[in-house]
Structures are given as structure tokens and as C-alpha cells.
Amino acid sequence: MKDAIITTEDLRFTYHTGGGEGQLVLDGIHLQITQGEFVAILGHNGSGKSTLAKHMNAILLPTGGTVWVGGMDTKEENSLLDIRRTVGMVFQNPDNQIVANVVEEDVAFAPENLGLPPEEIRRRVDDALRQVGMYEYRTHAPHLLSGGQKQRVAIAGVIAMRPRCVVLDEPTAMLDPLGRGEVLRAVRTLNETAGVTVVLITHHMDEAALANRLIVMSGGRIFSDGTPKQVFQQVEALRGVGLAVPDTVALLWALRQAGVDVPLDAISDEDCANVLFPLLAPDRKEL
């Protein structure tokens, strides 16, 4: 039984804008994320997904309930640094995460904060940059990089701490398709080869489809929790909470509505084509 890296118990969070009533953003979240998982958290703007993410490394503290990271209670002030080196976080805006003038200096920021010896820092910086494919750019100035490259540098800066888990809060929201692809590839590699737990907050269906577990949030609660195949089948329900499904699933669902008997769990291009082919050319054998 793999251990849980992040656990929340009846997590509640009320956002106070100063004076008077607050706004209930998280309404009792019970969640457990195990080491090695690739979890995508989907939700419309205002569903609480970003707020949930910020509880995972103690940027926000719960107003009710508890959050444990690697067995540590996030409310414990003494555990703060340990929590933050266990769960790293990457944000939406690539520019506002980069501290230094030179790529490798920025990636070194976290290990430097941890007080590691210079040779160890050097090693980690090189490793991290290689893992995200940015090693050749190590002496470049960050402001001259593309969005996707900047985000990869930000990711490298986080994995230089060798965290057990990385939370990414809509990391591709400000990127073009090329940049999105770069970042998602880097994240996938991280999870698959280094076994780092990945929590990806997004509202892009195609990104969520890459995960092995999907959590859908709505109105501060968990609406659905399962594999992408399981979750995307609830087409109407997802539309009801302000989300969409990948076009492949939307097509299959539309066909189902018209009386055609097709499964709804063929998300990828290949799977969808394989489902449709026998309908269109039943006498031809698949190649």
C-alpha cells in the first residue's frame, strides 16, 4: 500500500475580503493523494480548485478541517519549510516565478535557500535542467525565453528541491499550443520516470485526459473522482458544472443520443477512430 502524500479531512476555507461575511470557497473536502499518482483537478473558474491547490503546500491554511502533507499538519509552523520542500508549486504566470537574471541562478534559488553545499546545488541544478530539457539554456537570460521555456525553468526551479510532489496551478493558461505541449511533456516525464506525484490544476480537457486520476470540482466540493474514462462519460453532468468534454467524447455522446450504441470512454483520437470504424465499414477488417 503506497503511502498518502497529501490528505485532507473535511477541509473548509472561507475567503474574507476584510470586514463582514466571508465567501465559502471550500466546503468540506475529503481527499487522499498517494505517492506516484498523476492527478488532474478540473473545475470551472470559481470552483475552488486553485484554492485547494494552495492548501497543499500551506500557502493557505484551512479555516476548518485539516490538511496533512507527508504526515505533517500544515497548521504546524515548525513544519512549514519541510512541507514546502516536500510539495513544490508552479504557478500560472511564468514571469512572476523567476527570481534571477540567469536561468541556472534561478534554478539554484531553492537549493540555496535550503543551505545545501555549492557542489550539491550545482549537481541538482544541472539535473533539474536536464529533466525539463532546458540544460542548453542554462546561461541564458530568462526574459528572452518563450512562455513554454520559462515555465520549464520554473518547473526545474521547483524540482531542484527534489520534492515528492509537484502541484501545478493552471501552468499552461498563458501559453500557446507549442508551449503547452512542452510543459505537459515535461510534467509527464517527471511523473513517469522520476515517480514524482503530480497534481495538475486545469480546465483544459485534453490535459486532464493525460492524468490517471481526475477530480472534478464544483461549488467548493468534489463532484467526481475517478479515471478520465470514468469521469468523461458523465457528459451532461460535466456540462452542468461548467465544463466540457473532449470533442471525441462529445461526438460519441451525440451519436448515443441519436440511438447509436457506442461506448463513451474512447477519449483519444485512436480509441475514438477504433470505435467508429466498425460502424462505418463493418465489412472491412481493421488494418
178-197: which residues touch another protein (CB under 8 A)?
178-179
Which one of residues 32, 73, 81, 212 is an interface residue with another protein (CB under 8 A)?
Answer: 81
61 is a contact residue toward another protein (CB under 8 A): no
Residue with cell 473536502: 29
Residue 121 grid coordinates: 546545488
Interface stretch with another protein, choices 19-27, 130-138, 175-183, 221-229 (CB under 8 A): 175-183
Residues of this chain, 36-55, that bind another protein according to CB under 8 A: 44-46
Closer to another protein by Cβ: residue 152 or 203: 203
Q: Binding pattern to another protein, positions 231-250, x when CB under 8 A?
A: -----------xxx-xxx-x
> Which one-letter DSSP state was computed for residue 243?
-
228 is a contact residue toward another protein (CB under 8 A): no
Closer to another protein by Cβ: residue 122 or 188: 122
Helix (H, G, I), strand (E, B) or coil at 13: strand
Which one of residues 14, 66, 93, 230 is an interface residue with another protein (CB under 8 A)?
Answer: 93
270 is a contact residue toward another protein (CB under 8 A): yes
Question: Is 42:200 a contact under the CB 8 Å cutoff?
Answer: no
Interface stretch with another protein, choices 27-35, 87-95, 188-196, 217-225 (CB under 8 A): 87-95
Helix H segments across the chain? 49-55, 80-86, 103-107, 109-113, 118-131, 147-159, 177-194, 205-208, 228-232, 235-240, 247-257, 269-280
- Pick left, alpha or beta for residue 70 (phi over 0 → left; psi -120 to 50 → alpha; otherwise beta): left
Closer to another protein by Cβ: residue 82 or 192: 82
DSSP code per residue over 143-159: GGS-HHHHHHHHHHHHH
Question: Is 56:70 a contact under the CB 8 Å cutoff?
Answer: no
> Which one-letter DSSP state was computed for residue 14?
E
Spatial distance between the Cα atoms of 18 and 158, rounded to a whole number of angstroms: 32
Length of the chain in terms of residues written:
287
Interface stretch with another protein, choices 24-32, 65-73, 82-90, 223-231 (CB under 8 A): 82-90
Closer to another protein by Cβ: residue 2 or 240: 240
Which one of residues 27, 100, 135, 219 is an interface residue with another protein (CB under 8 A)?
Answer: 100
147 is a contact residue toward another protein (CB under 8 A): yes
Using CB under 8 A as the binding criterion, the count of chain residues that bind another protein stands at 81
Which one of residues 48, 62, 70, 88 is an interface residue with another protein (CB under 8 A)?
Answer: 88
Interacting residues of 24 by C-beta distance below 8 A, sequence separation 6+: 12, 13, 14, 15, 220
76 is a contact residue toward another protein (CB under 8 A): no
3 is a contact residue toward another protein (CB under 8 A): no
Interface stretch with another protein, choices 24-32, 119-127, 128-136, 211-219 (CB under 8 A): 119-127
CB of 16 to another protein, least distance (A): 15
Q: CA quadruple 91, 93, 97, 98: dihedral positive or negative?
A: positive
280 is a contact residue toward another protein (CB under 8 A): yes
